[in-house]
Amino acid sequence: ANLRNHPGAQEFSRNVLLVYSAALVFFMQAGFAMLCAGAVRKKNVQNTMLKNLLDACGAALAFFSLGYAFAFGGDDPMSAKKTFIGTSNFFLMNVEDLAFWLFQYAFSAASATIVAGTLAERCQMAAYLGYSVLLGGFVYPVVAHSAWSANGFLSATALEPMWGVGMIDFAGSGVVHLTGGTTALFATMILGPRRGRFHDDTGRKLAKPKEFPGHSVALQMLGTFTLWFGWYGFNAGSALLLDSLERDKVLALAGVNTTLAGGTAGIVALFANLWALERYTGEPFFDVKYLMNGALSGLVAVTGGCGVLEPWAAVVVGAIAGLLYMLGTWGLVKLRLDDAVDAIPVHMLNGAWGLIAVGLLASPKRLYAAYGHSDHVGFFYSFSHNGADGLLLAAQIVGILFIIGWVMIIMLPFFVWLDWRGWFRSDPLEEIVGLDTSYHGGLMLGGEDDINPEYVSAF
Amino acid sequence: ANLRNHPGAQEFSRNVLLVYSAALVFFMQAGFAMLCAGAVRKKNVQNTMLKNLLDACGAALAFFSLGYAFAFGGDDPMSAKKTFIGTSNFFLMNVEDLAFWLFQYAFSAASATIVAGTLAERCQMAAYLGYSVLLGGFVYPVVAHSAWSANGFLSATALEPMWGVGMIDFAGSGVVHLTGGTTALFATMILGPRRGRFHDDTGRKLAKPKEFPGHSVALQMLGTFTLWFGWYGFNAGSALLLDSLERDKVLALAGVNTTLAGGTAGIVALFANLWALERYTGEPFFDVKYLMNGALSGLVAVTGGCGVLEPWAAVVVGAIAGLLYMLGTWGLVKLRLDDAVDAIPVHMLNGAWGLIAVGLLASPKRLYAAYGHSDHVGFFYSFSHNGADGLLLAAQIVGILFIIGWVMIIMLPFFVWLDWRGWFRSDPLEEIVGLDTSYHGGLMLGGEDDINPEYVSAF
Amino acid sequence: ANLRNHPGAQEFSRNVLLVYSAALVFFMQAGFAMLCAGAVRKKNVQNTMLKNLLDACGAALAFFSLGYAFAFGGDDPMSAKKTFIGTSNFFLMNVEDLAFWLFQYAFSAASATIVAGTLAERCQMAAYLGYSVLLGGFVYPVVAHSAWSANGFLSATALEPMWGVGMIDFAGSGVVHLTGGTTALFATMILGPRRGRFHDDTGRKLAKPKEFPGHSVALQMLGTFTLWFGWYGFNAGSALLLDSLERDKVLALAGVNTTLAGGTAGIVALFANLWALERYTGEPFFDVKYLMNGALSGLVAVTGGCGVLEPWAAVVVGAIAGLLYMLGTWGLVKLRLDDAVDAIPVHMLNGAWGLIAVGLLASPKRLYAAYGHSDHVGFFYSFSHNGADGLLLAAQIVGILFIIGWVMIIMLPFFVWLDWRGWFRSDPLEEIVGLDTSYHGGLMLGGEDDINPEYVSAF
């Protein structure tokens, strides 16, 4: 029975709690904002802050007018047909389940915000506005439609899901994080690194990349905690959408797994980096960046499977997420790709890992509780269950390829075009004096100006 | 049937969720605090912070002892009699519905906090204590009684509401925001602007008002996001008080409208100001203040009608709120009224607009779901519904006039008296060295003292 | 009837809301982090931040593997036997009620975090890791078992509670706060004060202790508000664990009492200190530290009785908590015990007071609603009820003695051993340059370095 349409008390609770879950997910915007504010230099704080709030505002209008319609418009759970995109319910017309809209809006806002962090400190306002609208209004909704609409070709809740199982992305490792993270990767490839990060003034490659320490680790930490807090709305809240009589138990499982994966990943990243520093430099130290971004990596990775993994599996997912983050952040530096907040290893790498983890570790019992069937389970379970059945794993990989491919064919040309027109990158003087002065009428930081006027005159 | 008194599961959820909604509204205090902390200069941070927490603490005692009794004491929903003020249930005696008390407490605390921001950086502690007690203990409760008690003369839920409809103020555009904002206006008129804002040292009027940039845009942004987050408890949570079987759906509608109005208003204020700067100065820039305060303006404006407006109407309400904020902040400067956090355009102007918007745009269908009748609807709907019926709009206007008038007859004389006794304004030296040094035992900001000792000696 | 095992809608709400309550309690970690970040000097921010997040991460793994098993493993509510420690359900094996696990995890994380604040700015990383694991993995779970497991010897919900009533610690004044605060006391006794706090460079005692003002009162205030916000999950949320048909009403009472005690205590501490300053120094000022820590003291003190006290009693509890904080902070300075965040007067003193307050003031009516019986009530009520019955009060005192004693026999020798091995205290140079430079690869605060290199060379 479809509980969504049931009257009565559980329905009452589901609707109300979905709104409060949406509020928690919305509050993740504050987390992203603080994370970014802490990670950038003081001269760019205002620019970074503005983008975070503008994302939240813009996503509201975009999801109201187009996004929801593209993602979920005209969903027909009784039909097995697959569609590429929704085509009705524009401007919230004839939408009954407003709590669902609000929850999905908050998700769409998160996706766009991921990108802004990576590009911080060097991106033009016009470019930012352009890619935000394109991502939030079209690219993300198509991914959400494919994975979560009853008529999406990857959907696990379709009447006849792909290969009998579909891609299982419980709360959006793929839909939200991989989409945002992949966009961030293509964007930074085209945009290039911040001035002075990998090259000196004459353009010569630095032997050792220059670190740009953020201006406040306290705000970064606040951002990390706020994101983790909001993640309970994100992951646990997603259980409210299930058509299952055990929604509350799946919800609790999702909360527990979220906690375990985040905690494990933070610890693993911190100590693995400590060990590596000891081994390669002889000067180990506790690098708080690895703890923070490690924890976030674990949270991203468990997002896809939080409702279908056993708790021990969440620990495994988290441990690998922590290692992946460490390798990812090293790899980015090696490739001279500049990511001001490490969003690519956190969201893209671990978004993909989160989908694969479901394909490997989804438990029959938990799948049954959440989705009402367990014909195709995690690869490691399938040996004992019904022979080596890789269909779920295959569906997850198809999902990853689809998301990366879809982002690539739309966003990559767009970024190339922006760059070719000269609309993407701030000009060098703007970057050196800082975007706050360049685009936002000066610093708002009374008496703490750390822009050396000599920089400007020397230019 | 009155669900409030029904046993059972929905009642269980209503009580629990009302407590958590109250917690969210309480958390708005943190939002106000961060907004104010970011907006003031470093030398006054401690003073501003203290007031925010003291408001929350003081409101608890005031609402426990007097406020609740004045606002809701002895409510009799079965009687059509109208009273000016409640006269029982002092000190929570014989109050059964404690969740309701907690929710209303959080609202009363919000009202007082609005004023503190406007008066920041120049108000004596004694004056602050005085007006807080008067506002929270008497002025606000009378407004709340009139609008929300079953026996209030403006109440929409009275047995026989004024003109058959009463004033509809769903979550308090008028009761909370207009009351606080109007108090702020009268206070700043009497208190005068901060030294150096509109005049030079010799008292000569400056050609161009001096900007006092706050010391941290990151904290201001954090405050904005925190307020928005808490607003879901404020607006959506208010639906839990309804005596309607569709409370959960009204709650979701309120959440959606809150989001749409906030988002729209932020974008409109940001771009309208950009356009105006381009037009009048030729040097446009993205002013993050307009985005933040614009969004807050939209949230204030939709507070009154979030449960009775269609989503498209929330977008309209937000767009006008964004413009009103921009005009309001310009107007204040023109009138040489100094508002350290722009609380007057945000809360007063848009509080009034929020009430009017209900009179114009309240939808029959949504009114029916929330209040069980739709005899008198928004003016624009009334043409097709039952002829041009302006009764709801008229009731809303009566409400605005009552609130402004009531605040004026109590608070204005009080501020004049404070000023006449010399208890309102900090003395000039205190203001110049900063209130943290003057009232709070020195700066707590180790190593970042930006008070020039020369200022002091030069005095 | 045991509602925990009932199917149906109330059960659904209980499970979901317990997860969201856990999220609120988790968010208190952010509050602790901001409180500590604001209270320490800039050179130690990163160290302090790292510990807060590492606590949250480590507690997840510890409670997953051992903690939950020790505290609640194999609980048998049908048996009257008393056990010292649980011995099954390691690694979440065979645990059905995952929402309960998550809620209890968040509590265990809070307990460990309390200690870190006290020891800030001078403790080695290895020592921190050691005591955190010991406290979170063993010492705290034993206390939680004794007080809250159905088979704990102090448990009020046991089949045959001690003296027919057991110790009533509704949400953990004793279990969480007294345990953490007592550990902090023993730790600072062994670790000693920060360099320069009570002695000059030559080791001579200072006539007047040197204040080490924190670097940001705004962050401290944010921490205070965040803690208060999360406390609604902590205190009100604990009512969801009750086996009572009136859980929702007890929950609302807990929320109201939390608010009243916090507000009263803040005001009392602020004004009592103002009065004392006037009296003893002639230079009174509003010390924001007393308001913040006073409010937190009230919240701690009411934690033990929030569900069994009348609202007026919560005001009394808060007033005394505010005074106790003031006396406690003075006493610490007198005893030359250095507590960087005043965790000892806030959590230890008021944790104990919270337990005693239950013994004095627990109301028959409220006890009955929460626990289903009221044979033994608060001492002040017992006169009229069933003669002067001090059994509840006696049980509370036994609980205090047990907690202090248990912490002493385990943690005190451990700290002494750490100190003897030279693993506890940072070496003087590390402390002077700051722990961020010493342990975390340098400051992350671009351009705001306030470590004077002369300090270092002069060493």
pLDDT above 50 for A445: no
- With tokens 């004392």, the residue in question is C276
Instruction: Give the percent of chain B with pLDDT over 90.
Output: 67
User: A144 near A72, Cβ under 8 Å?
Assistant: yes
| A234 in contact with chain C, both atoms CB, cutoff 8 A | no
List the one residue out of C410, C431, C457 whose CA is nearest residue C179.
Answer: C410
**Chain B CB contacts of C42 below 8 Å:** 446-447
d(CA C157, CA C28): 27
Q: Which amino acid is at A15?
A: N
Please state which of the ranges A194-198, A269-273, B62-66, C54-58 shows the lowest mean pLDDT.
A194-198
pLDDT above 70 for B352: yes
Q: Looking at per-residue confidence, does B428 or A390 come out higher? A: A390
In this prediction, residues B234-257 reach a mean pLDDT of: 94
pLDDT above 50 for B451: no
User: B3 near B245, Cβ under 8 Å?
Assistant: yes
| B110 in contact with chain C, both atoms CB, cutoff 8 A | no
Minimal CA separation from A65 to chain B, in Å: 10
pLDDT value of position B9: 63
pLDDT band with cut points at 50, 70 and 90 for residue C459: very low
What CA–CA distances, in Å, run from C77 to A78, C97, C192, C245, C361?
46, 15, 44, 18, 27
pLDDT value of position C413: 96
Do C11 and A248 lie within an 8 Å CB cutoff?
A: yes
Task: Go through B328-360 and write b for each residue having 16 or more CB atoms within 10 A of its CB, e for each that does not.
Answer: bbeebbeeebbbbbbbbbbbbbbbbbbbbbbbb
Please state which of the ranges B46-55, B256-265, C352-361 shows the lowest mean pLDDT.
B46-55
C85-123 pLDDT, tens digit each: 999 999 999 999 999 999 999 999 999 899 988 988 888
User: A22 near A102, Cβ under 8 Å?
Assistant: yes
In this prediction, residues B175-198 reach a mean pLDDT of: 94
Q: What range defines the domain where residue B361 resides? A: 3-425
| C225 in contact with chain A, both atoms CB, cutoff 8 A | no
Question: How does DSSP classify residue C440?
Answer: S
Q: Is residue C453 part of a domain?
A: no
Do B229 and A15 lie within an 8 Å CB cutoff?
A: no
Please state which of the ranges A34-48, A307-321, A429-443 shows the lowest mean pLDDT.
A429-443
pLDDT above 90 for B440: no
pLDDT band with cut points at 50, 70 and 90 for residue C385: low
A221-268 pLDDT, tens digit each: 999 999 999 999 999 999 999 988 889 999 999 999 999 999 999 999
Average pLDDT, chain B: 90
Q: Is residue B380 part of a domain?
A: yes
Q: Which amino acid is at A201?
A: D
pLDDT above 70 for A458: no
Do B232 and A22 lie within an 8 Å CB cutoff?
A: yes
Touching B: A residues 79-108, CB under 8 Å: 91-92, 97-99, 101-102, 105
Q: Of B26, B27, B45, which is closest to C217 when you measure between CB atoms?
A: B45
How many residues are listed for chain A in this entry?
459
Q: Of A12, A57, A64, which is closest to B10 when you measure between CB atoms?
A: A12
| Tokens at A159, concatenated | 């009447």
Number of domains observed in the structure of chain A: 1
Minimal CA separation from B138 to chain A, in Å: 32
Instruction: Give the percent of chain A with pLDDT over 70.
Output: 93
User: A248 near A262, Cβ under 8 Å?
Assistant: no
Instruction: Give the percent of chain C with pLDDT over 90.
Output: 67
pLDDT band with cut points at 50, 70 and 90 for residue A386: low
pLDDT above 70 for A446: no
| C387 in contact with chain A, both atoms CB, cutoff 8 A | no
pLDDT value of position B110: 92
| B440 in contact with chain C, both atoms CB, cutoff 8 A | yes
Q: Encode B275-338 in three state secondary structure.
A: HHHHHHCCCCCCCHHHHHHHHHHHHHHHHCCCCCCCHHHHHHHHHHHHHHHHHHHHHHHHCCCC
Q: Is residue B290 part of a domain?
A: yes
Q: Of A13, A30, A440, which is closest to B288 when you measure between CB atoms?
A: A440
Q: Is residue C456 part of a domain?
A: no
pLDDT value of position A378: 92
Q: Of A9, A249, A285, which is closest to C439 when you measure between CB atoms?
A: A285
Q: What share of chain B is helix, strand, coil (3-state, %, to 5)?
A: 70, 0, 30
Q: Of A10, A102, A445, which is closest to B256 when you measure between CB atoms?
A: A102
Return the residue of B nearest to C319 by Cα: B61
Query: For testing the chain B interface, which of A28, A100, A102 should be mutated: the one with the most B CBs within 10 Å?
Result: A102
> Residue B441, Cβ neighbours under 10 Å: how many?
19
User: C170 near C303, Cβ under 8 Å?
Assistant: yes
In this prediction, residues C302-322 reach a mean pLDDT of: 97
Q: Of A255, A287, A291, which is closest to C53 when you measure between CB atoms?
A: A291
pLDDT above 90 for A46: no
pLDDT value of position B459: 40
Do B19 and C255 lie within an 8 Å CB cutoff?
A: yes
pLDDT above 80 for A84: yes
| C420 in contact with chain B, both atoms CB, cutoff 8 A | no
Please state which of the ranges B228-237, B351-360, B430-439, C79-88 shows the lowest mean pLDDT.
B430-439
| A241 in contact with chain B, both atoms CB, cutoff 8 A | no
Say whether C265 sits in a helix, a strand or coil: helix
Instruction: Name subunits touching A (3+ CB pairs < 8 A).
Output: B, C
Q: Of B228, B255, B262, which is closest to A102 when you measure between CB atoms?
A: B255
pLDDT band with cut points at 50, 70 and 90 for residue B86: very high
Q: Is residue A52 part of a domain?
A: yes
**Chain C CB contacts of B30 below 8 Å:** 222, 225-226, 229
What CA–CA distances, in Å, run from C448 to A213, B80, B159, C42, C214?
11, 65, 63, 9, 15
Do B23 and C217 lie within an 8 Å CB cutoff?
A: no
pLDDT above 90 for C41: no
d(CA C219, CA B20): 24
- Look at the alpha carbons of C122, C128, C134, C136 in this order and tell me if their dihedral is positive or negative: positive
pLDDT above 70 for A410: yes
Do B213 and A11 lie within an 8 Å CB cutoff?
A: no
Do B288 and A91 lie within an 8 Å CB cutoff?
A: no
pLDDT value of position C203: 82
Query: For testing the chain C interface, which of A17, A20, A217, A293 should be mutated: the one with the most C CBs within 10 Å?
Result: A217
In this prediction, residues C382-400 reach a mean pLDDT of: 87
> CATH no. for residue A245?
1.10.3430.10
Minimal CA separation from B191 to chain C, in Å: 22
User: C455 near A302, Cβ under 8 Å?
Assistant: no
Q: Is residue A306 part of a domain?
A: yes
| Tokens at A154, concatenated | 């990857």
Say whether A306 sits in a helix, a strand or coil: coil
Q: Is residue B437 part of a domain?
A: no
pLDDT value of position A389: 86
Query: For testing the chain A interface, which of C16, C24, C36 should be mutated: the one with the most A CBs within 10 Å?
Result: C16
pLDDT above 50 for A452: no
pLDDT band with cut points at 50, 70 and 90 for residue C7: very low
How many residues are listed for chain C in this entry?
459
List the one residue out of B311, B273, B310 whose CA is nearest residue B293.
Answer: B273
Minimal CA separation from C228 to chain A, in Å: 15
pLDDT band with cut points at 50, 70 and 90 for residue C411: very high
Say whether B123 sits in a helix, a strand or coil: strand
Say whether A167 sits in a helix, a strand or coil: strand
d(CA B352, CA B356): 6
Query: For testing the chain C interface, which of A27, A40, A210, A222 should be mutated: the one with the most C CBs within 10 Å?
Result: A222
Do B247 and A12 lie within an 8 Å CB cutoff?
A: yes
Provide φ and ψ at B155, rounded to 5°.
Answer: -60, 135
C127-145 pLDDT, tens digit each: 899 999 999 999 999 999 9
| Tokens at C47, concatenated | 């160290």
Instruction: Name subunits touching C (3+ CB pairs < 8 A).
Output: A, B
pLDDT band with cut points at 50, 70 and 90 for residue A203: confident
Average pLDDT, chain C: 90
Which residues pair with residue B205 across a beta bridge? Answer: B199
pLDDT value of position A450: 43
| Tokens at A390, concatenated | 């890789």
**Chain B CB contacts of C213 below 8 Å:** 442-446
Do A252 and C34 lie within an 8 Å CB cutoff?
A: no
Do A18 and B252 lie within an 8 Å CB cutoff?
A: yes
| B286 in contact with chain A, both atoms CB, cutoff 8 A | yes
Do B256 and A56 lie within an 8 Å CB cutoff?
A: no
Q: Of A17, A23, A105, which is closest to B229 when you measure between CB atoms?
A: A23
pLDDT value of position C431: 84
What CA–CA distances, in Å, run from B423 to B129, B427, C413?
11, 10, 57
Say whether C187 sits in a helix, a strand or coil: helix
- With tokens 């790899």, the residue in question is A331
ipTM of the complex: 0.94
Say whether A123 sits in a helix, a strand or coil: strand
User: C52 near C40, Cβ under 8 Å?
Assistant: no
| Tokens at A439, concatenated | 């685009």
Touching A: C residues 21-40, CB under 8 Å: 22-23, 26-27, 29-30, 33-34, 37-38
Minimal CA separation from A229 to chain C, in Å: 6
User: C274 near C285, Cβ under 8 Å?
Assistant: yes
pLDDT above 70 for A455: no
User: B52 near B116, Cβ under 8 Å?
Assistant: yes
pLDDT above 50 for C3: no
Minimal CA separation from A111 to chain B, in Å: 17
Q: Of A10, A252, A285, which is closest to C9 when you measure between CB atoms?
A: A10
In this prediction, residues C351-375 reach a mean pLDDT of: 95
Q: Is residue A458 part of a domain?
A: no
